[in-house]
Structure 1
Amino acid sequence: MGNLAIVGLGPGAFDQMTIGTIEKMKNADKLYLRTEKHPVVKYLKEMGLKFETFDKIYEKGSTFEEVYDNITREIIEIAEKYDNVVYAVPGNPFVAEKTVEYLLKFLNGSDDIKVEVVPAMSFVDVVINQLKVDPIYGFKIIDGLSLDSIKPDKRCNNLVTQVYNRRVASDVKLKLMDIYGDDFLVTVIKRAGIKGEERFETMPLYSIDRIDWIDYLTSIFLPPVKNTFQERYDIDDLLDIMARLRSENGCPWDREQDHNTLKRYLIEECYEAIDAIENDSDENLLEELGDVLLQVVFHSQIANERKAFNFHDVCDAECKKMVYRHPHVFGSEEIATSDDVLKRWDEIKKDEKGLKSHANELKSVPRSMPALIRGYKVQEKAAKVGFDWDNVDDAMAKVYEELNEFKEVYKGEDESDKIEELGDLIFAIVNVARFLKIDPEVAVHKTIEKFIDRFKYIEDSAEKMGHKMEDMTLSEMDFLWNEAKMHNFNKKVQK
């Protein structure tokens, strides 16, 4: 059986290496260093230790993952040939060492190679000591090359490693500025623990890629954000702000609200977001989406206060729903077209909600929806089981039928008949819109905007003529209305 000892070379000073590590290296049949780029290597040479490094693999590899994988495989092959192999890595083997992670994973449960990991001092220990930071209050270590998938936590200390050149520093800076802002003060750390070479400098985040002394032993330290007034906020800040607004010493208006009183605001904010989309205004859309998000946070806080659920439960439920309803993305199902996706979505949704009859599925469309949208969706669901006209002409014939029925009652005195027949007519028109794949809500909205624009034209024209609309005859206003129609308001110019 082969024996593989994984040892740490410490932060960089020779006196920070443990006696156990030195003894392991002295007694090794084969000693391998992940890299020769470490300050203590010169002392190992002075001690007369013979070793090999894997720097040649770094030169050949196209990605770090490929490099680490090749080093791992080579170490395993060597350990299978020799009885006592020592593999030395910078710092502590368990801190920011991918090859150690890979080795332990591959050799887990192996009967051929016995693995021993010898503890060592890490550069993190030096950083904690120099900055006088107690990790008990939170200390997150992040690979600077993994910031896309592993985010810093603004509420605790963060140490970003692997900032080994200015290109990486620039990439790290851009990602961190999205979270902390440009002017947030950070500490750039180089060669921590190496006397005469270590460097700790505090500077604004935006400037970290402008310094010319970055090397392979450089990290970035970010302290916790403690100010209420920040350059950049995130969702956790919004949750804290809402909790404070609802607290005993918070805002009286916010404290008075409940789910029912907030209903109108949720609807209003959604409409304002839609308005921003239709106006093609990114600035307004950013603001209005924030207002919609605030409503979600507001309702979640109220629910949390009565121990029903919280914002994280909302996120959890939505993530689970998205994963479950996309088996073609997160599972093994294969779905080729968008139509197939929608069909599968409906099947999954029906199963989720326990809708055992088609009528129940129609009833599941929320009554609080705008009537045109609700009618459209109900007709869609009915059509999926074959309850539909063969073509749009048949649907249009139904419109004429309902129009004639409405004509029979609209001058009558029975209010319920008029409501019923008008509803039937509108419902039939919605059906035609569905056949034509036109959103009836959008169509009516455009007509309203067109009406407002034409009405404004009449008012502006009257003012230019020195008239008030109130003093004009209907025929005079109708003349201007026909003029307004010539302007084609609310129609996009084709490019």
Structure 2
Amino acid sequence: MSIIHVVGLGPGDLDSLPVRTHRLLRGGHPVFLRTAVHPVVEDLRREGISFSSFDPLYETADDFDQVYRAIAAALLETARGQEIVYAVPGHPLMAEQSVQYLLRDAKDVEVRIEGGQSFIDPVCTLLGIDPIEGLLLLDGTAMQVQQITPGVHLLIAQVFHPRVAGDVKLTLMEVFPDEYPVTVVRAAGVSGMERMETIPLYELDRLDWIDHLTTVFVPAGDAHLQRRDAWYPARLVERLRRPGGCPWDRKQTHESLRPYAIEEAYEVADAIDRGDPDALADELGDLYLQILLHAQIASEAGDFTLRDVFEKLSDKLIRRHPHVFGEDGGTRARSPEEAEAIWAEQKAAEAGGSSQGAAQAHSVLDEVRWGKSAFAVAKALQVKAAEVGFDWDKPEDVLEKLREEVEELADEVTAAQRDEEKLTDEFADVLFTVVNLARWLELDIEKSLSAANRKFARRFAYVESQVKASGLAWSDVDVNTLERYWNDAKISRIPER
């Protein structure tokens, strides 16, 4: 019979050992300790319990994961044809990776988890907290800032060295202020060895008594700290949409919010153009608000949730980056151009495999992406049409067409009875032809219009300053004077806004 009895040595006090664990340790089976660096080990020696430990592996392996894999392999080999006992600190299923490898790799060896007391009970007892309030357990040797949830208590294990404490401190400082109070607990539940001290976060790695029995406790942050969590604004939006929330937010639909999504995207672009990081952070928040609102509206209708949005984005990022996330390792991207080509290839494969794409007949315009500004879509449509010869011969022809469209628009503007539908149609023809002319002249219409906007703002500011200097109200300044101010602005050196 091949059996591995896995027992936990508890937090470090012999009195905390379960009776069955104590009996197995004294039962005559070979005993193996993951580490002999544990307070209860001296008690085991005094009781005459012999054992072997895997401590030498820690000196030869490159990392902890390699140690745990080697321990599991050695135990499985040793257990063939006999019963052995494997003892770990705390509880076998609490932060014990070697046990997880045992359970995963055992085939013809039975692994029995016999239990034990984890360090969590005595730590929570010493701190006086109830885990039901919300308690997140993290590994100090592998902490990532994305794991931190400031709205719940954090318990950080495996802080066995000041160097690990330093890494933990730097990670926590990305979420919590430097002076945030944290409590360091050592040897909880071990009589005569317990120690607990609350210190500012920035002092975490300066304690000289941190060792393998150390745990760090970070209390839940207040509402201000929770605002730095990505889910906090999502909960605010949900509250705004509930009965008793904001009447404006409750009234919105996907359709009514559509202009705001476009507007906020342009605000982001403007902040980028201005090179203003603070403004960019603010505008990205406004854009994220649009995502939250649409996701909440969809959730209320039963269409999708914010998690579905995150999942679709994650799936797409993984799918379109096989050179980064691919399991076979066959795809490589040695330059940004190659990476972009892989992205385009994956995107084309997605489109070809969709039911919508298969159902539609192929068109010259199928490749045009409509999720852009109207000007950008107009140019894309014209470019695709031009590829098959549907285009003007020269820019002068486009200019003539523009004159024709402007005349038709003028006819509608001056008509005795305006037809709003025809007026809109003629105005749209003028805009579409303007885009065509910009394409022929190789001008960026968005950039050109942005420059015109800035120029108008500069010149109008000059006119405004002249009106103020005159001491008159706008309504008291005649049109000729305003035109003169405008012409002066055109020839004056007005600094960029």
TM-score by length of 1: 0.81
| Aligned residue type for 2:388 | F
Aligned to 1:238: 233
| Aligned residue type for 1:242 | V
- Which of 160, 176, 196 is 2:172 aligned to? 176
Aligned to 2:318: 323
Instruction: Please show how residues 197-276 of structure 1 align to structure 2 within 5 Å.
Output: 197-225=193-221, 227-230=222-225, 232-276=227-271
Q: Is the alpha carbon distance of 1:352 and 1:181 closer, same or farther for their aligned partners in structure 2, counting shifts above 3 Å?
A: farther
How many residues are aligned here? 472
| Aligned residue type for 1:117 | I
8 Å contact kept, 1:242–1:297: yes
| Aligned residue type for 1:334 | T
8 Å contact kept, 1:242–1:298: yes
Q: Is the alpha carbon distance of 1:38 and 1:476 closer, same or farther for their aligned partners in structure 2, counting shifts above 3 Å?
A: closer
Aligned to 1:14: 14
Aligned to 2:63: 63
Q: Is the alpha carbon distance of 1:196 and 1:285 closer, same or farther for their aligned partners in structure 2, counting shifts above 3 Å?
A: same
What is the alpha-carbon distance in structure 2 between the residues aligned to residue 432 and residue 199 of structure 1?
77
What is the alpha-carbon distance in structure 2 between the residues aligned to residue 317 and residue 121 of structure 1?
41
Secondary structure of residue in 2 paired with 1:145: coil
Instruction: Please show how residues 35-434 of structure 1 align to structure 2 within 5 Å.
Output: 35-80=35-80, 83-107=82-106, 110-111=107-108, 113-148=109-144, 151-225=147-221, 227-230=222-225, 232-331=227-326, 334=331, 336=333, 337=338, 338-352=340-354, 354-355=356-357, 356-359=360-363, 362=366, 365-366=369-370, 369-379=372-382, 386-387=387-388, 397-407=393-403, 410-411=406-407, 414-415=411-412, 419=427, 422-423=430-431, 425-432=433-440
Secondary structure of residue in 2 paired with 1:189: strand
What is the alpha-carbon distance in structure 1 between the residues aligned to residue 183 and residue 380 of structure 2?
56
Aligned to 1:392: none
User: Per-residue CA shift, 1:179-200, capped at 9, x if unaligned?
Assistant: 3444444332111111111123
Structure 1: stretches of 5+ with no match in the other structure: 390-394, 491-495
* Displacement of 1:396: 8.2
- Which of 443, 449, 452 is 2:454 aligned to? 449
Q: Is the alpha carbon distance of 1:262 and 1:405 closer, same or farther for their aligned partners in structure 2, counting shifts above 3 Å?
A: closer
User: Per-residue CA shift, 1:445-491, capped at 9, x if unaligned?
Assistant: 23432454466578879999999996669799667635649x9x69x
What is the alpha-carbon distance in structure 2 between the residues aligned to residue 409 and residue 222 of structure 1?
68
8 Å contact kept, 1:186–1:220: yes
What is the alpha-carbon distance in structure 2 between the residues aligned to residue 444 and residue 148 of structure 1?
44
Secondary structure of residue in 2 paired with 1:221: strand
What is the alpha-carbon distance in structure 1 between the residues aligned to residue 394 and residue 205 of structure 2?
69
Is it true that 1:481 corresponds to 2:460 in the alignment? no
Pick which of 119-128 and 419-428 moved more.
419-428
| Aligned residue type for 1:274 | A
What is the alpha-carbon distance in structure 1 between the residues aligned to residue 405 and residue 119 of structure 2?
86
Task: Name the Cα RMSD after superposition.
Answer: 3.7
Q: Is the alpha carbon distance of 1:265 and 1:95 closer, same or farther for their aligned partners in structure 2, counting shifts above 3 Å?
A: same
Aligned to 2:415: none
* Displacement of 1:37: 1.0
Secondary structure of residue in 2 paired with 1:11: coil
Pick which of 396-405 and 95-104 moved more.
396-405
Q: Is the alpha carbon distance of 1:329 and 1:348 closer, same or farther for their aligned partners in structure 2, counting shifts above 3 Å?
A: farther
Structure 2: stretches of 5+ with no match in the other structure: 413-421
Q: Is the alpha carbon distance of 1:241 and 1:464 closer, same or farther for their aligned partners in structure 2, counting shifts above 3 Å?
A: closer
What is the alpha-carbon distance in structure 1 between the residues aligned to residue 285 and residue 261 of structure 2?
12
Identity %: 34
What is the alpha-carbon distance in structure 1 between the residues aligned to residue 101 and residue 141 of structure 2?
17
What is the alpha-carbon distance in structure 1 between the residues aligned to residue 406 and residue 238 of structure 2?
54
TM-score by length of 2: 0.81
